[in-house]
């Protein structure tokens, strides 16, 4: 994958435009973000953390992830991440409601402010997964293949969101 900004990985500097193996980027960020996103989710919904602490902990992490996303993916892709988040509100609510239902809780049991950090983590994580799927299938540079992979990704997500919405209802 071609970087859109400079980044340092394990002491090695990569300049904007440098090629970095996607097999290094995605596993690292998927695991790292699962840990921070999971802790943010638990703080928001399981431990009744004060909103100030939730926003401080999650806000700093989300800001750092955005800096990396801009360097790795570029401004246009990050803009699309937020556009897709707006369009995918149904998916976000259904996924969070389904996860909460596993613990006997529901989306409406919490004030809106509590959902902000888990929502942002969800947006960042699904953005990363989309890019990982595109690269996994070798579709980044082949526009025809990329379109097929992205349609398959959207179809899969719609099915998963619909099923989880039904399970959480």
The per-residue pLDDT for range 4-24, each reduced to its tens digit, is: 999 887 788 989 999 888 888
Query: Which domain does 63 fall in, by range?
Result: 7-168
Q: In the structure encoding, which two tokens stand for residue 159, read together?
A: 């099915």
Residues in a beta bridge with 2: 19
* Contact between 103 and 45 (Cβ < 8 Å): yes
Q: What is the C-alpha to C-alpha distance for residues 65 and 76, in angstroms, rounded to an integer?
A: 16
**Residue 2 located in a structural domain:** no
Residue 8, φ and ψ in degrees, nearest 5 = -115, 125
- Whole-angstrom distance, CA of residue 100 vs CA of residue 45: 8
CB 121 within 8 A of CB 62: yes
Tokens representing 162 are 């619909």
Residue 71 to residue 4: CA distance in whole angstroms:
5
| Whether residue 167 has pLDDT greater than 90 | no
Residue 22 half-sphere exposure toward CB, CA atoms < 13 A: 16
pLDDT digits (tens, 9 = 90+) for 95-127: 788 888 888 988 889 888 888 888 888 888 888
Residue 37 has pLDDT above 90, yes or no: no
Kindly state whether residue 26 falls inside one of the protein's structural domains. Answer: yes
* pTM of the predicted protein model: 0.64
Domain assignment of residue 37, yes or no: yes
* Residue 144 scores a pLDDT above 90: yes
Q: How many domains does the chain have?
A: 1
Nearest-angstrom CA–CA distance, 45 and 148 = 37
| Mean pLDDT lowest among 24-33, 80-89, 121-130, 137-146 | 80-89
Q: Are 130 and 73 in contact (CB under 8 A)?
A: no
């Amino acid at each position: 994958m071609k970087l859109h900004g400079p980044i340092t990985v394990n002491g090695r500097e990569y300049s904007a435009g440098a090629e970095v193996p996607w097999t290094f980027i995605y596993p690292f960020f998927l695991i790292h973000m699962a840990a921070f996103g999971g802790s943010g989710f638990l703080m928001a919904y399981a431990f009744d953390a004060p909103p100030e602490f939730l926003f401080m902990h999650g806000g700093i992490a989300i800001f750092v992830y955005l800096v990396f996303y801009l360097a790795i993916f570029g401004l246009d892709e990050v803009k699309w991440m937020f556009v897709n988040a707006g369009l995918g509100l149904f998916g976000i609510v259904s996924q969070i409601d389904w996860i909460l239902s596993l613990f006997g809780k529901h989306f409406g049991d919490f004030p809106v402010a509590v959902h902000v950090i888990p929502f942002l983590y969800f947006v960042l994580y699904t953005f990363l997964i989309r890019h990982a799927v595109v690269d996994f299938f070798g579709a980044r540079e082949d526009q025809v293949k990329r379109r097929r992979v992205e349609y398959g990704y959207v179809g899969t997500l719609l099915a998963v969101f619909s099923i989880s919405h039904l399970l959480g209802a």
